[in-house]
Amino acid sequence: MAGGPSTPELAIAVGQAGGLGFLAAGYKQAGVVAEEIAAVRAVTDAPFGMNVFVPTPESGRAEPAALKGYLSELAPEAERQGAALGEPRFDDDGWEAKLTLVCDERPAVVSFTFGCPPADVFARVHDADICAWVTITNVDEARAAHAAGADGLVVQGTEAGGHRGGFIDDGSDEGGIGLLALLRITARATPLPMIATGGIMDGAALAAVLCAGASAAQVGTALMLSPEAATAEAQRAVMPEPGPTRVTRAFSGRPARGIVNRFLAEHSAGAPLAYPEIHHATSPLRAAARKRGDADGFNLWAGQAHELGQARPAGEIVREMADEAEAILARVSAGRRDPGTSGGSR
C-alpha cells in the first residue's frame, strides 16, 4: 500500500503472524526502500515481498488539452488547501533502480502492478531466485502475464481499494470484474497460482476465495486501521463508517477505488486518464488536506467492505483471519460429509 499505509512495522507484524508482509516501493526512492528492507531484516527472518509499479507507457499519456482543462478545474482546490498544484510530469517511478534493488536484496516475492514487465525482466528476477507475481484485472492480462513468465497472479477484483492494477483495456467498465467471477475465468485461462484480492476483510471472505480456487489472499483495507499502518488520522476516522466507495481518476489520473468524499464527487467527471501527471499535480493538495485533517480533500483509498475494518494489531487481524477461515472450511467440509450433525443441506 504505497502512498502511506505500508510500513516496515506492518510487514514485520504480518510476517511474524505467518502471513507474507509486503513493502510498497511505489512513489519512494530506491534508497528509502532499501532502508525499509534493512529495517524488516533487522527484526525478523520471516519472508516478505516487495511491490513495484511498472511504468505506464508514454504512448498512453494524457491528451494535453484534457489535462490542461482538468488542472484549471483544480485551481480552486489548490486555493482551498493553501497549496500550489504540483508539476504534472511523467516519470517511471525509478523503475530500473527498483528492479536492481529487488535483484540485489532478493525478497521472497516481487509483485508488479500497473503493468506486465517484458520476459527479460522475469528472467533477471528468476536468476536472483525471486518469485514474480503480476496484478491482473481481466483474462487478457492473465494470459499476457503467463506468457511473459509470471509465477503467480494477483487477481484483483473490482471490490479492491486503491488503484486498479490492470494494463490491458478489455472493454469492461473502469470498475472492472467482480472477484469471484474473475477468479473462475482466470482459472480457466491460465494454470498459474492465484492470489485473490479485493474486499477480503475476514476469515469468511478468505475461505470463500480459497474455495473459488485461490492459493492465497492479499489484503489491503483490512490492515489499514492497525497501529502498524501509517494511515492518515482523518482517514482512520472515516473508514469504519458504512459509506459508498467509487472508482475515480480524480486524484491520480488512474482509476482507483476510494470512499466517496467531496473531492471525489466534484472532480471525478472531469478527470482524464493521465497517470502519473495528475498524481504529481494533486500531490501537494492532498498532502495539505491530510495535514489539516480534511477528509474531503484527499484520496481515501479503501475497498468496498471497508466498514468491516478493525483497529487492532495487524498480527491479530492476520491470525484471526486464518483461524476463522480454517474453522469455516472445516465446518463446510464436515457438513458435506455428515449433514445430519451440522444442520447443512442434504
Sites of contact with ligand FMN (CB under 6 A):
1-3, 5, 24, 26, 51, 113, 135, 156, 159-162, 165, 197-200, 218-222, 301-303
Cβ distance to ligand FMN smaller for residue 302 or 314: 302
Task: Report residue 253 as a C-alpha cell.
Answer: 489520473
113, 162, 173, 321 from 316: Cα distances, Å = 27, 23, 36, 8
| Residue number with CB closer to ligand FMN (78 or 250) | 250
**Minimum distance, C-beta of residue 200 to ligand FMN, in the bound complex (Å):** 5
User: Whose grid coordinates read 467482480?
Assistant: 178
CB of 335: closest distance to ligand FMN in angstroms? 28
How far are the Cα atoms of 44, 174, 311 from residue 171, in angstroms, in the given order? Answer: 44, 9, 38
Do the beta carbons of residue 259 and residue 305 sit within 8 Å?
Answer: no
Q: How far is the CB of 170 from ligand FMN (least distance, A)?
A: 18
C-alpha 306/C-alpha 303 separation (Å) is: 5
Nearer to ligand FMN (CB atom), residue 50 or residue 78: 50
Q: What is the DSSP letter of 338?
A: -
Q: Which residue blocks in 137-225 are alpha helix, DSSP H?
A: 139-148, 179-189, 203-211
CA-CA distance, 16 to 246, in Å (whole number)? 33
The secondary structure element, H or E, covering residue 52 is strand 48-53
> Which lies closer to ligand FMN via its Cβ, residue 319 or residue 344?
319
Q: Least distance from C-beta 195 to ligand FMN, angstroms?
A: 9
Give dist(CA 242, CA 258) in Å, integer: 13
- What are the φ and ψ backbone dihedral angles of 44, each rounded to 5 degrees? -145, 150
Q: Is the dihedral of CA 59, 61, 62, 64 positive or negative?
A: negative
Q: How far is the CB of 141 from ligand FMN (least distance, A)?
A: 13
The CB-of-201 to ligand FMN minimum distance in angstroms stands at 7
Q: Kindly tell me which of 202 and 277 has the beta carbon lying closer to ligand FMN.
A: 202
Instruction: Give the shortest CB-65-to-ligand FMN separation in angstroms.
Output: 30
Nearer to ligand FMN, 158 or 190 (CB): 158
**Cβ neighbours of residue 72 closer than 8 Å, sequence gap 6 or more:** none
Q: Pick between residue 66 and residue 211 the one whose CB is nearest to ligand FMN.
A: 211
